[in-house]
Amino acid sequence: MADNTHERKEEQPDPPKPWRTEGLENSDTDVEGGGPRWPNWKRILLWSVVFYFGSFLVFSFLDSANAPVAVSYTEFQAQVQAENVERIYARGDSIEGTLRDAAAHPDSDDDYTSFTTERPTFATDDLLTALADGDAVVSATPVTDQRGTPLNLLLSFLPWILLIAFYVWMFRRMRKAGGAGGLFGGDKKKIKPVEKPRVDFDDVAGIDEVEDQVKEVVDFLANPEKYKKLGAKPPKGVLLTGAPGTGKTLLARATAGEADVPFFSASASEFIEMIVGVGAQRVRELFEEARKVAPSIIFIDEIDTIGRSRSSGRVVGGNDEREQTLNQILTEMDGFDGSEGVVVMAATNRADVLDPALTRPGRFDRQITVHAPDREGRESILEVHARGVAIGPDVDLGAIAAMTPGMTGAELANLVNEGAILAAKNEADHVTQRDLVMSLETVRLGVARNVVIPEEERRRTAYHEAGHALLGMLQPGADPVRTISIIPRGHALGVTVSTPDEDRYGYDEHYLRGRIIGALGGWAAEEAELGFTTTGVDNDLEQATNIARRMVGRWGMSEKVGAMTVLSDEGDPRTLGIAERTLADVDDEARRIIRECQVEAKQLLVEHRDKMDSIVEALMAHETLDEAQAYAAAGIPRPTQP
């Protein structure tokens, strides 16, 4: 599966959003939820302080520009005697006034017309008579205009006005988003134009049978009248299950792209917040906006995050926010009557833990399992991901597909990308087959470590890996050996890779015993060569133990235990009512199977010691052997493909 997407670079990234959208052609519809959008308090406080003090300085400057000049009472009397005083305002002993003609200030070189002075309390002059003789106007009104009462009130109450305005803004925000949702993530924002290129079924490969099942959803969204005419109701929900990386999200996007309808996608965990009720609020908003632009598709990824069974003992005490969110999804899906044109798609890799109310008919009507692709599917997927890569003429994607059984679409995409990175690192013009094979080794085996290994340790590792490889070659029906290496990768000093020619979907007891014998090859080789084992058998014994226990406890391959499931992925089998005696029988039978395989593994290596020595010498010389080199070194013909 390919996902041709790109990210839009912004100077400041948007805050997290509870969901994302594709396919909306305009930006005038309020359809996309936003995450917490708290205002920038530092900026608001800074501008409030700047505005307040700016206003204060401006009005103070205006007042100072019109302020009268302070003069002595002697200077004032001289102007009165000269009959140059035009008007005065007196309050107690304070006198303020203006002159008819500008006069020189006795203490400076500046002239003045407006003045203020203080009359001494001991003065005995008849000031009013002198002013009247000079035709001066005496009044109780200020000579200069003072700042008005409304402006004084405004400046006095400006901080309170700003505080009240903030509370009004906060109240409206809460009312718009529905209570606490407005404070903790319930805000909405205008949808922006589509940022991701839309995908369709041409971008999906390797899961043809799944495409056929979702094409009915596409047909309904594109031609709803055809179904309404016959009274048929479309599926309300489609549940996609499968392992991670199989392309569930891409398939949902392709469904919306093929039908050319808006696509709303969100991860279930994005609905959950610390505040109870926020998740349910976000679900309501999401379904409401999807209805506005119907027909449309809502996609919820990892729905098991909120959709776990409410009666499960795994959720001790419950989780109010998770359950409220789940209940809201159930309520919204019940509200569909088939005419809205909204289809809900969800994805999970744990369908077994979902609440039965979520998977019943009328909600998620269809459950589609998305498996890892087969060989032909892997080749198709590689072709899709190779579209934008400079592939060399020697590249055989069919051969790469044959070497990658069990790999998902995401892993194949990573494989192609690693090959391109390797080619670019080598400054090549195109990606070669060797680049892809080496990238497969890196993905599967790990990155090679540049460490110096003593010669004795290298030979011991060579015997260990030769034991694995030789037993894989000698076991009838075993997977062919693809690569043997004694180059340290990851935590391992050496690696042996065996994969089938064709995909396997079921395993019999004979094949599983062969797997255990192959896993014990390193242990048997060390016993045969050294007479003792090392810590290098740790992972081998773990694999052998897991296979043997599953054979007995899950697949009924033991007469003593019988055909019953004893071991489960759900935790301690004792909680399922399994008796201690039965568990002890499982351990005894698993130990018996491993002991029998140990004897057979050691016997085979002793009988074919010369072949093992030959593989060891080839590994010491070349460090890594491919499939042809490995079989040639052992002198064993490569098994033919069926």
For residues 65-72, give the mean pLDDT. Answer: 74
- Give CA–CA dist 303/314, Å, rounded: 17
User: Where in the chain is CATH 3.30.720.210?
Assistant: 67-139
For residues 140-167, give the mean pLDDT. Answer: 61
455-634 architecture in CATH? Up-down Bundle (1.20)
Asked if 623 and 487 count as a contact pair (C-beta separation under 8 A), the reply is yes
Of 71-85, 343-357, 491-505, 519-533, which gets the smallest average pLDDT? 491-505
Fold of 20-35+191-369: Rossmann fold (3.40.50)
Quote the pLDDT of residue 30. 42
**Catalytic annotation, residues:** 465
Model pLDDT for residues 392-451, shown as the tens digit of each residue: 888 888 888 888 888 888 889 899 998 999 899 888 889 998 888 888 878 777 777 777
Instruction: Give the global pTM.
Output: 0.62
Model pLDDT for residues 459-480, shown as the tens digit of each residue: 999 999 999 999 988 887 778 8
At 1, is the pLDDT very low, low, confident or very high (cuts 50, 70, 90)?
very low
* DSSP per-residue codes, 54-75: HHHHHHHHHHHHTPPEE--HHH
User: Where in the chain is CATH 3.40.50.300?
Assistant: 20-35+191-369
User: Where in the chain is CATH 1.10.8.60?
Assistant: 375-445
CA angle centred on 49, ends 44 and 55, rounded to 5°: 125
* DSSP per-residue codes, 155-221: HHHHHHHHHHHHHHHHHHHHHHHTGGGGTTT--EEPPPPP-SPP--GGG--S-HHHHHHHHHHHHHH
Model pLDDT for residues 339-395, shown as the tens digit of each residue: 667 888 888 888 878 888 888 887 888 888 888 888 888 888 888 888 888 888 888
Fold of 67-139: 3.30.720
Beta pairing partners, 188: 33
User: Where in the chain is CATH 1.20.58.760?
Assistant: 455-634
High-pLDDT (> 70) share of the chain, %:
77
**What is the enclosing helix (H) or strand (E) of 50?**
helix 41-65
Question: Looking at this protein, which amino acid is placed at residue 534?
Answer: T
- Give CA–CA dist 24/262, Å, rounded: 6
Fold of 375-445: Helicase, Ruva Protein; domain 3 (1.10.8)
Beta pairing partners, 484: 496, 625
